[in-house]
Amino acid sequence: MVKVKVKEGVLEGEIIENVYGNHFYCFKGIPYAEPPIGDLRFQAPKPKTPWTGVRQAKQHGPVCCQYDYLKTLQTKGEEDCLYLNVYTPNIKPQEPLPVMVYIHGGGFVSGSGNDDLFGPEFLVKHNVILVTINYRLEVLGFLCLETEDIPGNAGMKDQVAAFKWVQSNIHSFGGDPNKVTIFGESAGAASVSLHLVSPMSKGLFKRAIMQSGTLLCPWVQTHKPRERAILLARELGCMSNNDAEIVKFFKNIPAEALVKKSAPLIYVEYFRTSPKTFFGIVIEKQFGQECFLSNGENMYDVLKDGIHEGVEVINGHTEDEGIVYFAMGCNADKEIEQANKLIEFYVPYDLTIHLPLLKRIELGNKIKEYYLKDRVVSKEHIDDLLRCLSMIYFVYAAVTWQKICAKRNKNKLYFYTFSCKSERNIFARVLGGKFISDRRTTVSHGDDLSYIFPCKIALTKVDINSKTYQMIDQVTMLWTNFAKFGDPTPDSSMGAKWMPYTIENQHYLDIGEKLTPGTSPNKQDMDFWESILSRILSTISFLDLFKLKV
């Protein structure tokens, strides 16, 4: 057992033997804010009040109320969920250690920072500290009535509170508050990209890693949040048009009643099988509160001036991101049916809600023609549809984010594609379906996680003498080198040099069994998308992307 003193009191953790290296110190279930319950529901988190005596930190804190998509298929968690975990290789190092703060994904509706998926064993052996966090999800975290009582973005403000806690306390665990890297995957990666532009987050970290998600992804921003909040209230039984009464209703309804809720406003949201984000990020209206985001009308507005100056960033995606959309919403057969019948299937969601019908049909036809020619979509040539879905939901947003930020020339940026293939590609097997995995080994959305974390919920211990472990060691070395030096390949030991991405050279690294440098990632597909969007959407003023001439 081991004790540390933080700003709020004394914590007692434990020493854990690492099967992949030396022991580490483990502190779980640390409250970083007051429970967001009662009048604090939907509000920005409040600082945690100090406690007396010694607080046990050996068990994870409660996860946020959510639907358990992975195991029980039931609601789990609690509203009192603002806890984090700290894993450190050394409480009193000779020099303070770099800190890596992980933000979990899950579409803003599910997940946690618990070690069943996000354990520290692979990372801490490289002499860094890992912090994982919980934050409010779905309605509890992202409902927005556009009022002072429910302004939106509560879950993002939770993350900011966790970063502030790290700044105040990480030195007690041997960490350096001036060397904090935030990183995340999927919705966690989109969160990272949002912290790179939010005034609330400025100065709270030095580096950032975005794995398969940016704020430009079509599933990040919630449009018409007030209308969705009122629709949800009515579906739950509140028919009032009075804001005060709606707020009172939302603050008193049991938290479990706010789990797994949807609020489709248009037909395409109601019928489309692919998952939608009904309660996500909003651009807040001012009511005197500190806003997470408040400038502009859309994420291109938010990004047009670039990100916080001087922050170093890694950004990238997996080889087959689109596989995730075959498992969500319905199933692969239903996705294929919609791909064949509905031309709007091919139009990114954020464009669907802004474009008139004829423009949607024109854009959908162009995209389908490019990827599938005149063929009927079937399981025999599913790879073309996968490539299309990957571009729509992840890749186009990732490369466009990179180009916009590189054009500003205020940050050192790196870009990657992830192509590691082994028995640890669990999402490809589970999500992709037999008809994909039998044909080739794929790298799905989420498959990078098992090369950074043990993912004990689904995988057993890996042989340290195997090729798989060599890939794990390689990936975690890149990530931790970046956290330490701001350069993932600071010397020749990695066998390849990962060059920074610039608008002139567009360097990137393919991270597979070997490290393969390249230039102009996804060039053919990006040329098509940039051409077709600039031509069809030239009259749509909200797309500042094309004004930036990236």
Rg (CA), the chain: 23
- In DSSP terms, which residues pair with 54 in a beta bridge? 10
Q: Could you tell me if 207 and 312 are in contact, meaning their C-beta atoms sit under 8 angstroms apart?
A: yes
Query: Strands, E, within 175-226: which ranges?
Result: 175-185, 207-211
Look up residue 492 and give its two tokens: 């020749």
CB 45 within 8 A of CB 135: no
**What end-to-end distance do the CA atoms of the chain give, in Å?**
54
What is the C-alpha separation between 394 and 405, in angstroms, rounded?
A: 17
15 beta partners: 25
The residue annotated as part of the active site, out of 321, 419, 422, 450, is: 321
Please, is 467 exposed, middle or buried when counting C-beta atoms within 10 Å of its C-beta (0-12, 13-18, 19+)? exposed
Interstrand relation of 54-56 and 413-418 (parallel, antiparallel or unpaired): unpaired
What the block records as the tokens of 535 is: 């031509």
DSSP of 265-318: -SHHHHH--S---SS-B--PPPSSSPPS--SSSSHHHHHTT-SSTT-EEEEEEE
Is 185 marked active-site? no
- Three-state SS for 66-113 is EECCCCCCCEECECCCCEEEEEECCCCCCCCEEEEEEECCCCCCCCCC
- Let me know if 445 is a catalytic residue: yes
Considering the candidates 186, 201, 390, 422, report the single residue annotated as catalytic: 186
Which residue, among 4, 205, 173, 181, has the nearest Cα to 89 in the 3D structure? 173
Q: Is the dihedral of CA 81, 82, 86, 91 positive or negative?
A: negative
Identify the active-site residue in 223, 308, 445, 507.
Answer: 445
Question: How far is Cα 450 from Cα 103, in angstroms, rounded to an integer?
Answer: 15
Contacts of 239 (CB under 8 A, 6+ apart): none
Cβ atoms within 10 Å of 84's Cβ, excluding its own: 26
DSSP run (H or E) holding 164: helix 154-169
186 is catalytic: yes
At 342, give phi and psi (nearest 5°): -115, 110
One-letter amino acid at 128 equals V
Q: Nearest Cα to 348, choosing from 104, 136, 186, 536?
A: 536
Distance between CA atoms of 465 and 225, rounded to whole angstroms?
Answer: 51
CA 400 to chain centre: 17
Nearest residue to 270 via CA among 229, 328, 329: 329
As annotated, the active-site residues are: 186, 321, 445
